[in-house]
Amino acid sequence: MKKYVFQRIIFSIITFFFIITLVFFLARATGDPLAELENDPRISPETIQKIRAMFGLDKPLYIQYIDFITNMMLKGEFGYSIIYKRPVMEVINERFPYTLALLIPAITLSNYLAYKIGIEIAWRRRSKIGSAILTFSIIISAVPYFWLALLFLYIFSVRLGWTPIFGAVSPGMSFSWSWEWFADYLYHYALPFTVLVFRSVFSYVLYVRNTAVDILGEDYVNVAMAMGLSPEKVKYDYVAKNALLPIVTVLGLRYAFLIDGAILTETVFSYPGTGRLVFEAIYGRDFWLLQGATVILALSVIIVNLVIDFLYMFLDPRVRYR
């Protein structure tokens, strides 16, 4: 077990370095960051030299790489945002909690619902309702997040006026530990959260269902049935329980998938999270902001994956006693 824990931690660290290295080399591979300035006749070569020295761009590539990593990890420096005119880390720090507050409840609820629905429709796979839900979930997995968000925004905010059109709190509302703030926050939270959960539940139901259907075909399920166990017992103790493991395995992928959903959903609802920040960075051509948001979101994926690996250890005795 110790070996397993150790392995997972090492793998997470390697993944983190892999991402940082990838980001660094991709960002550098596309050319000199100061190429734009060199074309500008108003800037003398000496000034460019000075800027180069200021940012350490005159050093060899491997030193730049080491600088890049130490700046990121030790000082939390991700550069300077062009659109916000503030350090990238400061902007992300403000925004990330909003995204996390969307993602964690969304992944919990959507996985729970998808699990319940998936097992149920696998159990009744020959019934009308079973195949109707299956068809519906296939259709929903083809609908893009952002369009669903636009549609919900149109129906519930614009047409019905039930929910606000943008933001995480009303304009002018500043954060305080009060019911007033919390109520206003929930009022804004409801719709983006619903879109995220709705879309991700149905894109996942198919997977849960197929997993459960495969388990239904296993011999031990037949034996259990033949032994005369009640259908309820077979469903919950034999099928649902065994379907849990393959589902936990893809939990990390689900989180990553939900991040993609959050980027699109937050963009539509102008929700001030890290996902919307990605859009703003694209819109404002703010590369450093995009890079910062990418690294932070990827880091959160690594941490979530590590947590899931440990969760897996408690669920699967084979891993625990290895």
Residues in contact with another protein by CB under 8 A are 11, 14-15, 18-19, 23, 26-27, 29-31, 125, 135, 138-139, 141-147, 150-151, 153-154, 158-159, 165, 210, 213-214, 217, 252-253, 256-257, 259-260, 263-264, 267-268, 278-279, 281-283, 285, 287, 290-291, 294, 297-298, 301-302, 305
CB of 177 vs another protein, minimal distance in Å: 32
DSSP 80: B
Q: Pick the closer one to another protein by CB: 159 or 176.
A: 159
CB of 275 vs another protein, minimal distance in Å: 9
User: What CA–CA distance (Å, rounded) separates 122 from 116?
Assistant: 10
Beta-ladder partners of 87:
80
From residue 71, alpha-carbon distances to 21, 56, 61, 133 in Å are 13, 12, 15, 50
Q: Pick the closer one to another protein by CB: 113 or 281.
A: 281
User: What CA–CA distance (Å, rounded) separates 269 from 20?
Assistant: 30
Q: Pick the closer one to another protein by CB: 240 or 306.
A: 306
Sign of torsion over alpha carbons 142, 145, 151, 156: positive
CB of 268 vs another protein, minimal distance in Å: 7
Residue type, 316: D
Q: Pick the closer one to another protein by CB: 84 or 257.
A: 257
Residue 133: burial class (beta carbons within 10 Å; 0-12, 13-18, 19+): buried
| In 78-140, beta strands by DSSP E | none
CB of 159 vs another protein, minimal distance in Å: 8
Please, which residues have CB within 8 angstroms of residue 91's CB and are 6 or more apart in sequence? 81, 84, 277, 289, 292
Residue 175: burial class (beta carbons within 10 Å; 0-12, 13-18, 19+): exposed
**Two tokens, residue 258:** 């939900």
**At residue 80, what are phi and psi to the nearest 5 degrees?**
-120, 130
Q: Pick the closer one to another protein by CB: 224 or 278.
A: 278
CB of 106 vs another protein, minimal distance in Å: 14
Q: Pick the closer one to another protein by CB: 194 or 294.
A: 294
Q: Pick the closer one to another protein by CB: 161 or 317.
A: 161
CB of 56 vs another protein, minimal distance in Å: 19
CB of 71 vs another protein, minimal distance in Å: 19
Q: Pick the closer one to another protein by CB: 127 or 230.
A: 127
User: What CA–CA distance (Å, rounded) separates 264 from 65?
Assistant: 32
CB of 21 vs another protein, minimal distance in Å: 11
Buried b (16+ CB within 10 A) or exposed e, 144-164: ebbebbeebbeebbeeeeebb
